[in-house]
Structure 1
Amino acid sequence: MSVPEEIIRIAAKGDGVTASGRHIAGAVPGDVLRADGTIQHGPHHATPPCRHFARCGGCQLQHADEEALRRFVTDRVVHAAASQDIAPGEVLPTHLSPSQSRRRATLHGLKTAAGVVLGYREAGSHRIVDIGECPVLRPELFSLVLPLRKALAEAAGKRPVDVALTLADQGVDVAISGLELDGLGPTEAMLDFARDHQLARLSLDQGYGAEPMWEPEPVTVTLSGVPVPLPVGAFLQATVDGERTLVADAVAFANGAGSIADLFSGLGTFAFAFSPDTNVLAVEAAQDAHLASKAVANRHGSSIAALHRDLFRAPLQPDELTRFDAVLLDPPRAGAREQIREIAASPVERVIYVSCNPSSWARDARTLVDAGFRLEKLRPVGQFRWSTHVELTSLFVR
């Protein structure tokens, strides 16, 4: 007969794990797995704040209290470094975004005989959970869920639709894909929806790319005090507080650098945060984001130069990196294997690496360490509250 076992940690996908290595769904550290397979809740087991939890695939860890959640985010990052035999010089305090702080999200909708369902997909399924609450979203975004259901009930066909919500400076930016408006009536109904709810912008992708159909004034997002045009679908950090933490670390880690290469620069999240006395080369592959940041940099006469370049196919070479005191990179989830190899072969002595995937970061970190870098600082960041998605900032020097 099996004996009771205590849950000692949370695995990468959210399961509780015992000392013997058993994975138990719905368990957190301090819980006890009884001999009969049931779970005895411990001091870190919390009551989920959302009634959709366990069905909705948007959150995996609402049953973990603040301490357990913080420990999970911290362990994911520290263990990723340890998996490559890398010891950080200093692990900075973990940052967790609070509830109701997400300023962007994508919901899925489908018209059924009973009406339109709108929400997130169930874990491991295409079924949509029709949400009646969401404790992670900013209230400005969630307040549109019910009106969107009504608007889609009148305009949507049988095809599923995706609804991307983003909080911009002018209000909520709504981008809908998969919705085909047939005739003047449905088109006018969607324009009425945009006007009645004072949207910053309403865009539709009817199979030929996103096209704004309502935008009373150019939509912007303010980055480090600088309003930057926000292209439809452009990448934006999930929360304002998370962005501030990432940016503050980047600025602190770059202290004293007179020239910085900002790679995978996006709209300029980091570039616009540096001192005007710092020369920054902002390199981005997405043309709309590149043009948005370039236009602002040119208009302000700043020390930021923007370069349109695909760093996966054409990474900056060692001879191009020689003129920079520091390199900052914030790549997609796949990491930056090709660019990291060139950085490792260059004379650069300081690398600031912001990552949304501890696994690919750890692989790239190993390449830097093998080239003589040491991991001086590391901060775990949990912008996606109650999710297993974890981010980090790091500083490498040699």
Structure 2
Amino acid sequence: MSVAEDEIVRVAARGEGVTADGRHIAFAAPGDRVSGHAVLVRGPHHREPPCRHFPECGGCQLQHLDDVAWSGFIVDRITSALAAHALATEIRTPILSPPNTRRRATLHAERRGRQVRMGFTEQNSHNLIDLDECHVLDPALFALVAPLRGLLAAMLPGKRRVNVHLALADRGPDVLIDGMEAEGLAAAEAITAFSHRHGLARFAMDEGLGATSRWEPEPVTVTLSGVPVPFPPASFLQATPEGEAALVAAVREIAGPSRAVADLFAGLGTFTFALPGAKVYAAEAARDPILALRAAGIQAQRQIFADHRDLFRRPVTAKDLSNFDCIVLDPPRAGAREQVAEIAACKAPALAYVSCNPSTFARDAQVLCEGGYRLDWVQPVGQFRWSTHVELAARFSR
């Protein structure tokens, strides 16, 4: 069936709708039409954005899409990235996290007169959106926004912007503020009273020399696959429980009955602890997360060797990787060029590649396939609701 030139046929990487004749139209959804007077006629996949701050707030770019269109955008991003490297494979149906499930986020706060504004910045701007509502944050985190404004109003110096890192730990919300000092008895009492009143697991501050806990009645942990793991301030945590579950399920499917697994860029052990029947070598460059992983592994009596190792400067060699039944690779957005070169030369029969960047994933996938691996399938995961951010887990085999 032919498509009219004025019909939106896809959504580009930055969120604009693209017509059949190649025009980019802001806030358009597949199936929309562009009239002769450049008026957008909404189609079946265009929804009314639920948040009053859209589209100014940079936290979301795709609230005008329904889930079908958002899924299509995610699949298209992955397919296009692979095609740029002459690759194709089965792309499974994306697993999407529901609204109001984000359990970690970084907001910004700044003083405007006597008031403190707090929220996300505008898209491609430093202008701060003062949040009155949020449809992505877990309600337990959003409930802290207004009280934190009040706390910071008494502490935040003029004309300074600070970062407010929020996360949900096992015992409640974890708050870290960086870029501000809070000295003196009055500040200490205010922080203690605030933390107690709002049931915080921890309140920490980073004045430029590293995070220091100002309230932590019990050691803060996050539970990964049933194992409580110490949670250092500002550590990486999968954005939603649903997203974590989807990625863990994919990695478990790929690893199968593997008895020896290498978990590279292991972080706190999201995938390390998901494989209880295997001996796991876990490598991570960040000191605090790998120490937390090691302590949790000892406490849980798991067969884990935790290695504090920079995999960019000192990747695990192909010879050593050949001793494993499966490799799990979860690098940062830049990918893992140096480590992938060693994996491509090894003999491990299976690889689970977890990625938050389809472009660098596709680049690395080409190297792996040229080294003899086959890309069997990709499981997309939409953890960042209404965002252009795309995550995935992929199976490679020899």
TM-score of the aligned structures, taking structure 1 as reference length: 0.97
Structure-1 separation of matches of 2:92 and 2:55: 32
Question: Are the aligned partners of 2:118 and 2:145 in contact in 1 as well (CA < 8 Å)?
Answer: yes
Tell me whether 106-115 or 128-137 shows the greater mean CA deviation: 106-115
Question: Are the aligned partners of 2:352 and 2:395 in contact in 1 as well (CA < 8 Å)?
Answer: yes
Tell me whether 220-229 or 91-100 shows the greater mean CA deviation: 91-100
Query: Does residue 7 of structure 2 align to residue 9 of structure 1?
Result: no
Q: Please give the per-residue CA displacement for 1:182-220, whole angstroms capped at 9, x wherever unaligned.
A: 432123212211111111000011122111110010000
Tell me whether 210-219 or 250-259 shows the greater mean CA deviation: 250-259
Counterpart of 2:345 in structure 1: which amino acid?
A: A
Tell me whether 26-35 or 163-172 shows the greater mean CA deviation: 26-35
Structure-2 separation of matches of 1:50 and 1:140: 18
> 2:300 is matched with which residue?
300
Identical amino acids, percent of aligned pairs? 53
Question: Are the aligned partners of 1:4 and 1:33 in contact in 2 as well (CA < 8 Å)?
Answer: no
Structure-1 separation of matches of 2:51 and 2:20: 30
Alignment of 1:374-393 (within 5 A): 374-393=374-393
> 1:311 is matched with which residue?
311
Deviation for aligned residue 1:4:
6.4
Q: Please give the per-residue CA displacement for 1:303-353, whole angstroms capped at 9, x wherever unaligned.
A: 111111000000001111121111110000000000000111112221110
Structure 1 residues 35 and 114 mapped into 2: Cα distance closer, same or farther (>3 Å)?
Answer: farther
> 2:113 is matched with which residue?
113
> 2:342 is matched with which residue?
342
Structure 1 unpaired stretches of 5+: none
Tell me whether 143-152 or 178-187 shows the greater mean CA deviation: 178-187
Deviation for aligned residue 1:99:
0.2
Question: Are the aligned partners of 1:4 and 1:35 in contact in 2 as well (CA < 8 Å)?
Answer: no
Structure-1 separation of matches of 2:312 and 2:194: 41
Structure-2 separation of matches of 1:298 and 1:193: 35
> 1:167 is matched with which residue?
168
Structure-2 separation of matches of 1:301 and 1:54: 49
Query: Does residue 268 of structure 2 align to residue 230 of structure 1?
Result: no
> 2:353 is matched with which residue?
353
> Match of 1:35, SS?
coil
TM-score of the aligned structures, taking structure 2 as reference length: 0.97
Deviation for aligned residue 1:37:
1.8
Deviation for aligned residue 1:35:
1.9
> Match of 1:369, SS?
helix
Query: Does residue 141 of structure 2 align to residue 141 of structure 1?
Result: yes
Structure 1 residues 232 and 36 mapped into 2: Cα distance closer, same or farther (>3 Å)?
Answer: same
Structure-1 separation of matches of 2:69 and 2:348: 38
Deviation for aligned residue 1:83:
1.9
Deviation for aligned residue 1:41:
1.0
> 1:202 is matched with which residue?
203
Deviation for aligned residue 1:114:
4.8
> 2:127 is matched with which residue?
127
Alignment of 1:1-398 (within 5 A): 5-88=6-89, 90-158=90-158, 159-276=160-277, 278-398=278-398
Deviation for aligned residue 1:300:
2.4
> Match of 1:129, SS?
coil
Question: Are the aligned partners of 2:102 and 2:384 in contact in 1 as well (CA < 8 Å)?
Answer: yes
Q: Please give the per-residue CA displacement for 1:22-73, whole angstroms capped at 9, x wherever unaligned.
A: 1111111111112222211111110001000011010000000111111111
Question: Are the aligned partners of 1:117 and 1:130 in contact in 2 as well (CA < 8 Å)?
Answer: yes
Tell me whether 189-198 or 177-186 shows the greater mean CA deviation: 177-186
Structure 1 residues 189 and 95 mapped into 2: Cα distance closer, same or farther (>3 Å)?
Answer: same
Deviation for aligned residue 1:380:
0.9
Question: Are the aligned partners of 2:191 and 2:215 in contact in 1 as well (CA < 8 Å)?
Answer: no
C-alpha RMSD of the superposition: 1.1
> Which 4+ stretches in 1 moved above 3 angstroms?
none
Deviation for aligned residue 1:371:
1.0
> Match of 1:130, SS?
coil
